[in-house]
Amino acid sequence: MSAADTPNHFIRTMISKDVAAGKHDGRVVTRFPPEPNGYLHIGHAKSICLNFGMARDFGGVCHLRFDDTNPVKEDLAYVRAIQEDIHWLGFEWDALRHASDYFEVFYQCARRLISDGKAYVCDLNADQVREYRGTLTAPGQNSPWRERSVEENLDLFTRMRNGEFADGSRTLRAKIDMASPNINLRDPAIYRIRKIAHQNTGDAWPIYPMYDYAHCISDALEGITHSLCTLEFEDHRPLYDWYLNQLDLKANPQLADSLQGADMDIPISRPEQTEFARLNLDYTVMSKRKLVELVSKGLVEGWDDPRMPTLSALRRRGVTAAAIRLLCDRVGVTKQVTVIDYGVLEGCVREDLDQHAQRRMAVLDPLPLTIENLPEGYAATIEVANHPQQPEMGTRELSHGRQLYIERSDFEEEPPKGFKRLVPDGNVRLRHIGIVRCVGVDKDAEGKVIGLRATLYQPDEAPKVKGTIHWVCAEHGRQATVRLYDRLFNVPDPDAGPGSYIDHLNPDSREVIAAAWVEPAAAESEAETRYQFERIGYFVSDRREHRAEAPVFNRVVSLRDSWGKG
């Protein structure tokens, strides 16, 4: 990427200044920290492009860290899918980490907080904790367990760790300020008891650390300099700083002794958190809870159903990684919460595919057309360009006989005003073949047009015509399944109500055409090849189901933005 294409934004400016000032010894270390409880979606792409992009642009490093502190919803299948998606987007991590790699350090740090009188074991249950917490306008109340002695706290915490207490019966809490105007600082939980196996650490731990506590320590241990996260963590930043200031890991590296021998080559840092606005897209939902629900209720056909906003679905839909990166550049990085028009994504896809997708012909709603003045068994092979503006994309052979299919909508018996395609006794250009005249219209008993007869003009006798239509040869072409996808929801904000977002699913978001026709050079492509089907749109051969003998194409996007225009 040249400097001119590199979008400037407040985070880039901040990092530039930090590097120039020699902050963090001039290092730039970022991380992308997904929780492995679902597939990555297009919102995550913004965070990926930002974190990996900043490391790349400043000669730094970026870690992939699985934020796996809540084993209830986490799964190894998600871990694998997340890695695959990041690679597909075009990024490579410098180190792969897990928050669970640091469970022993978190534990030692918690003991330190207890010893320093900064944390206590609390016996309130979840409802009581809520009552004591207060509200936005009323301060909270101290827990009756807040003044336990260090010895008692250390003993109880050891026993929590040893699995002596029931789930939810106790928590370890930070002792900060129950009257703080920031509710996050009202003695937040550090550890909860949860006797459940973890995908990485098995049964080793009956207690699990809370996100805010684990995240800042993980950042420091990995030498992260710039901890970039979304705006909802802005109110958590004081807590992020509080933990790091209490523990001062740079001055107390012995707290991380359990990591000795681990491949941790970057010195412990004092990271700083900076927040940016999420990427929101209209006509979709992005919360993982909802995406999980769409999949588990069978409302879509899995995580990579081409209508889903997940990266694996967008990929299957035929969206390119380059188009997603372009979207992220265009949207920019700000603190302004906005909702991006779905059309902006589609525009990025068209822009990329217009340049990079070869052209092919396909007919989605076939109407037979016989060129009567060609002899039975006639076959001609022509060489045609794969891309009208890009000769370096080469040519392909295209054969035809006398029996073709054209698009049903390219013929009108009673044409509306301005119709430039085929009409009875009218002329039209068949792309790459020449100009034909419609000399006959065949109908079934109900009057439905079932075939056209035409004659091909000699090139020097052909009249001038205004319209050009595409075709597929019935003898040389192949039948194909084509799936037309559209927006998964039929309202811009499915979460806005009334009712559930599920009520707003677009019933027409998927149309399957079982008997479309495509030219052989499309059928014989590898899976996951993108084409512009001329005059129709951009399509991709399905990465799971496409076979040369049984071609399957997904529509990536139509040629033009016609959403909402009937």
CB atoms within 10 A of CB 96: 12
- By a kind-dependent CB cut-off of 5 to 8 A, residue 278 interacts, out of Mg ion, ligand ATP, none, with ligand ATP
Return the sign of the alpha-carbon dihedral for residues 513, 517, 521, 523: positive
Exactly one of 114, 279, 353, 428 binds ligand ATP (CB under 6 A); that residue is 279
Among residues 31, 112, 173, 288, the one annotated as catalytic is 288
Phi, psi of 282 (to 5 degrees): -80, 170
Task: Please enumerate in sequence order all residues whose Cβ is within 8 A of that of 508, keeping only pairs 6 or more positions apart, or say none.
Answer: 486
Residue 435 C-alpha from the chain's centroid = 45
Exactly one of 23, 35, 206, 356 binds ligand ATP (CB under 6 A); that residue is 35
Nearer to ligand ATP by C-beta: 94 or 372? 94
Instruction: Say whether 35 is catalytic.
Output: yes
Q: How far is the CB of 557 from ligand ATP (least distance, A)?
A: 21
Q: Is residue 216 within 8 Å of 271, Cβ to Cβ?
A: yes
Q: How far is the CB of 67 from ligand ATP (least distance, A)?
A: 6
Q: How far is the CB of 251 from ligand ATP (least distance, A)?
A: 28
- By a kind-dependent CB cut-off of 5 to 8 A, residue 456 interacts, out of Mg ion, ligand ATP, none, with none
Position 446, amino acid: E
DSSP string, 186-240: SS-EEEEE----BTTTBTS-SEEE-HHHHHHHHHHHTT-SEEEEEGGGGGGHHHH
Nearer to ligand ATP by C-beta: 200 or 525? 200
Q: Is residue 116 within 8 Å of 122, Cβ to Cβ?
A: no
Interface with ligand ATP, residue 9, by CB under 6 A? no
Spatial distance between the Cα atoms of 165 and 191, rounded to a whole number of angstroms: 13
Binding mask 285-324 for ligand ATP (x = CB under 6 A): -xxx------------------------------------
Interface with ligand ATP, residue 44, by CB under 6 A? yes
φ/ψ region of 411 (left if φ > 0, alpha if ψ in -120 to 50, else beta) reads beta
- By a kind-dependent CB cut-off of 5 to 8 A, residue 309 interacts, out of ligand ATP, Mg ion, none, with none
Q: Is residue 273 within 8 Å of 211, Cβ to Cβ?
A: no
Instruction: Say whether 104 is catalytic.
Output: no
Among residues 35, 104, 234, 524, the one annotated as catalytic is 35
Task: Please enumerate in sequence order all residues whose Cβ is within 8 A of that of 167, keeping only pairs 6 or more positions apart, or say none.
Answer: 193, 194, 195
Phi, psi of 371 (to 5 degrees): -90, 100
If you count them, how many residues does the chain have? 566
Helix 150-161 and helix 103-115, axial crossing angle in degrees, nearest 10? 160
CB atoms within 10 A of CB 500: 12
Of 149-157, 284-292, 398-406, 538-546, the segment contacting ligand ATP by CB under 6 A is 284-292
- By a kind-dependent CB cut-off of 5 to 8 A, residue 288 interacts, out of ligand ATP, Mg ion, none, with ligand ATP
DSSP string, 483-498: EEE--SBSSS-GGG-S
Nearer to ligand ATP by C-beta: 278 or 431? 278
Q: How far is the CB of 35 from Mg ion (least distance, A)?
A: 5
Nearer to ligand ATP by C-beta: 101 or 407? 101
Q: How far is the CB of 548 from Mg ion (least distance, A)?
A: 43
Among residues 118, 146, 194, 278, the one annotated as catalytic is 278
Q: Which residue is nearest to ligand ATP (CB)?
A: 43
Instruction: Say whether 278 is catalytic.
Output: yes
Binding mask 216-235 for ligand ATP (x = CB under 6 A): -------------xx-----
**Contact set for ligand ATP, span 361-420 (CB under 6 A):** none
Exactly one of 12, 278, 420, 453 binds ligand ATP (CB under 6 A); that residue is 278
Binding mask 25-54 for Mg ion (x = CB under 5 A): ----------x-------------------
**Contact set for ligand ATP, span 45-74 (CB under 6 A):** 46-47, 67
Helix (H, G, I), strand (E, B) or coil at 179: coil
DSSP annotation of 161 reads H
Interface with ligand ATP, residue 495, by CB under 6 A? no
- By a kind-dependent CB cut-off of 5 to 8 A, residue 435 interacts, out of ligand ATP, Mg ion, none, with none
b/e burial code for range 230-258 (CB count within 10 A of at least 16 → b): eeebeebbebbebbbebbebeeeeebbeb
**Which has the closest alpha carbon to 290: 29, 15, 5, 41?**
41
Q: What token pair was written down for 409?
A: 């909508």
Q: How far is the CB of 317 from ligand ATP (least distance, A)?
A: 18
Of 171-179, 255-263, 281-289, 507-515, the segment contacting ligand ATP by CB under 6 A is 281-289
Spatial distance between the Cα atoms of 192 and 172, rounded to a whole number of angstroms: 7
Q: What token pair was written down for 131?
A: 């009552």
Phi, psi of 309 (to 5 degrees): -85, 10
Nearer to ligand ATP by C-beta: 47 or 153? 47
Nearer to ligand ATP by C-beta: 234 or 534? 234
Residues in contact with Mg ion, counted by CB under 5 A, come to a total of: 1
Nearer to ligand ATP by C-beta: 222 or 407? 222
b/e burial code for range 75-92 (CB count within 10 A of at least 16 → b): eeebbebbbebbebbebe
Interface with ligand ATP, residue 34, by CB under 6 A? yes
Give the binding site for Mg ion (CB under 5 A).
35
**Which residues are tagged catalytic?**
35, 278, 288
* Residue numbers at the binding site for ligand ATP (CB under 6 A): 33-35, 43-44, 46-47, 67, 229-230, 278-279, 286-288
